[in-house]
Amino acid sequence: MTGDEPMTAAQRSYLDTLAREAGEELPADLSKAEASKHIDRLQQRSNRVGGDGDTSAGS
């Protein structure tokens, strides 16, 4: 695997959700590796790690 393949449908769907929540717009033609980096970054921003939605301190 080179990381140059297009992102998967699951990555696309999850990224769309994270980006929308973060108020960001991401390109539709990301590679798997690029998508993974954006997902990691956006998860850290939104505290969405592990699916535990209630652990954030509220804003």
The CA-based angle 47-49-50, given to 5 degrees, is: 135
Query: HEC states along the chain?
Result: CCCCCECCHHHHHHHHHHHHHHCCCCCCCCEHHHHHHHHHHHHHHHCCHHHCCCCCCCC
1 band by pLDDT with thresholds 50, 70 and 90: low
State the residue range of the domain holding 42: 9-51
pLDDT tens track for 12-58: 999 999 999 999 999 999 999 999 999 999 998 876 655 545 444 44
Number of domains forming the structure of the chain: 1
In a domain, 30, yes or no: yes
Q: Whole-prediction pTM value?
A: 0.73
Measured distance CA(29)–CA(58) in Å, rounded? 33
For residue 43 the two structure tokens come to 């998860």
The residue with greater pLDDT, 9 or 50, is 9
In a domain, 57, yes or no: no
In a domain, 16, yes or no: yes
